[in-house]
Amino acid sequence: MRDIAPASQDGTPIAPDAPRVPLLLRLEAMGRTFAMQSPTRFWAMRLAIVLMLDGLIMLGSFALSRLILSDLAMPQTLYDPWFMALFVGGNMAVLFAIGTYRQSWRFVSIGDALSLAISLLVSGWLIWMITAGLIAPQKMMRGVMTIFLTVDVPLTVALLLAARSVRRELFKHVRSARMRRTVQARRRILLLGELDWARVMADLVPTDASGLEIVGVISFDGHDRRLNLGGLPILGSPDMLPQIVADLDRAGKRPVSLVVQESSERLDRQQILRIASLAEQENLVVSRFRNPWTSAQPLNGAMHGDRMAIEKMPLAELLGRPEITVQHSYLERVVTGARILVTGAGGTIGGELVRQLAYYAPVEIVLLDHSEYNLYAIEMEAREKFPHVRFHAELCSIRQRPALWQVFERRRPEIVFHAAALKHVPMVEANPCAGVHTNVLGTRNVADAVCEFEARAMIQVSTDKAVNPVGLMGATKRLGELYCQALDLIGSCDPDSPRFLTVRFGNVLGSSGSLIPLFQQQLANGKPLTVTHPDIERFFMTVQEAVLLILQSSARALETDSERGTIFVLDMGEPVKIVEIARRVIRMAGLRPEIDVPIKFIGLRPGEKLFEELFDTSEDKIESAIPGIFEAMPSPIPLELLVEGFGQLARLIAAGDADELVRLTHEMVAASASSRWAEILRRLAAESSDTLLMMPRPVESQAVLPSAPPLPRDVA
């Protein structure tokens, strides 16, 4: 007979041409539909069925206990049907009263079994005492009844738990069968964590539409090796991972991912790094179960609806350095109630700056960007997430000095975060006029506006490519650093002059057009992953860390009036080889490097260095009071020379002389290596302070402090 297609969860019939559905699946679907349509009737029917089954089990165990003790002289009452009915009914009433039938017994524990046994033992004795004392007076025969209950209670508990275990396994079988019909590909995974956690996962994963299949458990110490946990073998410790994977591979159960219990107290960062190294050798992805309460989607889209899913351990967690700790007090005092302007607000760094700044409730944030779509996107997101903060979107390029002046005059920002820049090395190398115009003259425009409209500070976002630059992009960013350093140093004699702070860091993971998105796009298109050189290395950090660095260092500097002219640099640990990042991306997709996905070396691009640095050869590395951050003491170029050089750059841009523009840019950067201007300025500032202390105290209304020289007013 042809199977009839079942109804779906909402009661609608499935199409006639749907594949056959096993009887158990049809019954399970009908039961779920009935439970949703009539929950009260369903609960009543379920309770009636459970009570009927438990009654039959208790009657059977009662009769079996009598049979087992047939050689023992027992009271005749035990053979009376009315006593059997009373005994079973009394036991069920006690179980009902203590809430046994209001809890789910699909996940029974030893404590539940003990509670059931004690309840049955007590109720059995009470029933016999009442019967022998009141209903049918007779000898108590305590010894005989103790023996009888000693046999009957464990037997009853065993049969009750066995029935529930059968129901549980049947339920798991039905759910697994349903999952197999909806999920075609199964991904095999290994669990690494505490055994209690692994036991819970072993129960949840097989009944979820996640497409995951657990093939074994690895404990931290491996002491329980060769034992089973919820039907899963405990295979050993993390150090045995190569052998474990080899054994599973021979059995046709090779896993693609190692899922780690990240919440365990026994798993620190060094252990994660060691485990990640072993996993990479075996082409395993180091993953974790995704938090179902987060809104972010996994990289491979593994989360669908309310299903369980695994996601890769964030790459930043495997970089081997501690995370930045937030010092909220400094940020609150600097940002709360202030007027903020963020250039490049639609970019990766600028957008994250807006999000984190808004958390500290500034009175308003001005979003400035030359891209209409990026500006629109960040404004809509910011207004939705932070309705208590005023946002103003200004469509403007930092190259447009008059337009930028109008924005500053209209908004009067107190603190400016300068994140606008052209950052892609090959793009700037191919378009030198655009690169210099934005990164050099655009930075000058923002800095001059800060001085002109008396903002409190400008915080410039820089890059490790500005250190000993070989390419034009790095050189342009270095000139931007030099200009801000010169302005910061020249204000040493005037405590009211604006601060110009520069924050330098390495590559940002996941930023637009950066390494990881490029690899992911190549992988999605089925192309080889391209790496410029086998030995090329880079420093990496997350965008959240980068912005925390910017905010923390700038807030500390403004609050403590730190020494002028320094550059803040994150202690980023050791650089990471790009080819290793490529291999990780491939493994995170469940594939094998060089086997499933090739890695192609294409040679260094114009302006690209093999190794990046965080400190220039002309800079002194200084320990900072901010945890995880260093300071670089620069050797800048005098401001008047920079003003003159920037004027020449502007004329070369207007003339379109790219070759001369590149030459002059690199020449200006090279000049900073031999500069002793910072040392001279510090000595002059100290002498000026000593002179002021030695002078008689003037009348307050006539006090005059030395001020910085007037800034240039030229127009690019």
What DSSP letter does each residue of 85-140 carry, written as one string?
Answer: HHHHHHHHHHHHHTTGGGS--TT--HHHHHHHHHHHHHHHHHHHHHIIIIIS----
- Please indicate whether residue 138 or residue 306 has the higher confidence score (pLDDT): 138
| Model confidence at 362: pLDDT above 90 | yes
In sequence order, the 6+-apart residues with CB closer than 8 A to the CB of 541 are 316, 319, 505, 506, 507, 508, 509, 549, 570, 572
Q: Report which listed range, 146-155, 296-305, 499-508, 615-624, is most confident.
A: 146-155
Q: What is the DSSP letter of 218?
A: E
- Please indicate whether residue 328 or residue 225 has the higher confidence score (pLDDT): 225
Give residue 433's Cα distance to chain centre. Answer: 39
Report, as an integer, the average pLDDT of 477-489.
91
| Model confidence at 60: pLDDT above 60 | yes
| Model confidence at 552: pLDDT above 50 | yes
Lowest mean pLDDT among 48-57, 63-72, 160-169, 316-325: 316-325
Q: Where in the chain are the domains?
A: 23-179, 186-291+308-318, 421-506+542-571+613-694
Can you tell me the distance from the alpha carbon of 518 to that of 424, in angstroms, rounded to the nearest whole number?
Answer: 13
**Lookup result for tokens 């190794």:** 611
- The confidence score (pLDDT) of residue 98 equals 78
* % residues pLDDT > 90 (the chain): 21
- The confidence score (pLDDT) of residue 435 equals 95
| Model confidence at 202: pLDDT above 50 | yes
Average pLDDT, the chain: 76
The tokens of 639 are what? Answer: 């401001």
- The confidence score (pLDDT) of residue 624 equals 64
Ordered strands of the 364-369 beta sheet: 390-395, 364-369, 339-343, 415-418, 457-463, 499-505, 567-570, 629-633, 620-623
- The confidence score (pLDDT) of residue 197 equals 83
Lowest mean pLDDT among 92-101, 445-454, 539-548: 539-548
590-630 pLDDT, tens digit each: 677 878 888 888 777 665 555 555 555 555 556 666 665 77
Report, as an integer, the average pLDDT of 382-386.
92
Looking at residue 613, its amino acid is E
Can you tell me the distance from the alpha carbon of 316 to that of 545, in angstroms, rounded to the nearest whole number?
Answer: 10
- Please indicate whether residue 691 or residue 492 has the higher confidence score (pLDDT): 492
Can you tell me the distance from the alpha carbon of 652 to that of 48, in angstroms, rounded to the nearest whole number?
Answer: 91
Q: Which CATH architecture does the domain made up of 421-506+542-571+613-694 adopt?
A: 3-Layer(aba) Sandwich (3.40)
Cβ atoms of 545 and 511 within 8 Å: the answer is: no
Helices (H), 437-576: 443-452, 472-490, 515-524, 543-560
- The confidence score (pLDDT) of residue 208 equals 60
- Please indicate whether residue 134 or residue 510 has the higher confidence score (pLDDT): 134
Q: Report which listed range, 157-161, 455-459, 531-535, is most confident.
A: 455-459
Report, as an integer, the average pLDDT of 346-365.
92
Q: How confident is the model at residue 17 (pLDDT cuts 50, 70, 90)?
A: very low
Backbone angles phi, psi at 217, to 5 degrees: -125, 135
- The confidence score (pLDDT) of residue 627 equals 60
Return the percent helix, strand and coil in the chain, to nearest 5: 50, 15, 35
Report, as an integer, the average pLDDT of 257-279.
70
* pTM: predicted TM-score of the whole model, two decimal places: 0.54
- Indicate if 421-506+542-571+613-694 has the same CATH topology as 186-291+308-318: yes
Measure Cα distances from 494 to 258, 488, 490 in Å. 59, 10, 8
3-state secondary structure of 651: helix
642-673 pLDDT, tens digit each: 899 999 999 999 999 999 999 999 888 887 76
- The DSSP code sequence of 471-498 is SHHHHHHHHHHHHHHHHHHHTTT-TTSP
* % residues pLDDT > 70 (the chain): 69
- The confidence score (pLDDT) of residue 273 equals 59
For 186-291+308-318, the fitting CATH number among 3.60.15.10, 3.40.47.10, 3.40.50.720, 3.60.110.10 is 3.40.50.720
Can you tell me the distance from the alpha carbon of 480 to that of 460, in angstroms, rounded to the nearest whole number?
Answer: 8
**Lookup result for tokens 């349509």:** 37
User: Count H helices, E strands: the chain?
Assistant: 22, 22
- The confidence score (pLDDT) of residue 18 equals 43
- Please indicate whether residue 94 or residue 545 has the higher confidence score (pLDDT): 94
C-alpha angle with apex 148: 145 to 154, nearest 5 degrees? 130
Can you tell me the distance from the alpha carbon of 635 to that of 642, in angstroms, rounded to the nearest whole number?
Answer: 13
- The confidence score (pLDDT) of residue 540 equals 66
- The confidence score (pLDDT) of residue 205 equals 76
Nearest to 505, CA basis, from 565, 572, 416, 457: 572
Nearest to 197, CA basis, from 169, 172, 217, 175: 217
| Model confidence at 409: pLDDT above 80 | yes
- The confidence score (pLDDT) of residue 500 equals 94
Cβ atoms of 515 and 578 within 8 Å: the answer is: yes
Q: How confident is the model at residue 463 (pLDDT cuts 50, 70, 90)?
A: confident
Can you tell me the distance from the alpha carbon of 612 to that of 591, in angstroms, rounded to the nearest whole number?
Answer: 30
| Model confidence at 398: pLDDT above 90 | yes
- The DSSP code sequence of 384-429 is HH-TTSEEEEEE--TT-HHHHHHHHHHH--SEEEE------HHHHH
Q: How confident is the model at residue 370 (pLDDT cuts 50, 70, 90)?
A: very high
Can you tell me the distance from the alpha carbon of 157 to that of 115, in angstroms, rounded to the nearest whole number?
Answer: 10
Lowest mean pLDDT among 319-323, 506-510, 605-609: 319-323
C-alpha angle with apex 567: 355 to 345, nearest 5 degrees? 25
Looking at residue 388, its amino acid is H
Report, as an integer, the average pLDDT of 568-588.
71
Can you tell me the distance from the alpha carbon of 29 to that of 36, in angstroms, rounded to the nearest whole number?
Answer: 11
- The confidence score (pLDDT) of residue 69 equals 87
Lowest mean pLDDT among 30-44, 217-231, 411-425: 30-44
Looking at residue 161, its amino acid is L
In sequence order, the 6+-apart residues with CB closer than 8 A to the CB of 542 are 314, 316, 508, 509, 510
| Model confidence at 326: pLDDT above 80 | no
- The confidence score (pLDDT) of residue 304 equals 40
668-709 pLDDT, tens digit each: 888 776 555 545 545 555 554 554 445 444 333 333 323 333
Lowest mean pLDDT among 58-67, 390-399, 452-461: 58-67
Q: What is the DSSP letter of 286?
A: E
In sequence order, the 6+-apart residues with CB closer than 8 A to the CB of 252 are none
- The confidence score (pLDDT) of residue 120 equals 86
In sequence order, the 6+-apart residues with CB closer than 8 A to the CB of 72 are 144, 147, 148
| Cβ atoms within 10 Å, residue 636 | 26
Looking at residue 86, its amino acid is L
Which stretches does DSSP call E strand in 243-318? 257-260, 285-289, 310-312
The tokens of 123 are what? Answer: 């109720």
- The confidence score (pLDDT) of residue 705 equals 29
Can you tell me the distance from the alpha carbon of 621 to that of 631, in angstroms, rounded to the nearest whole number?
Answer: 6
Backbone angles phi, psi at 41, to 5 degrees: -65, -40
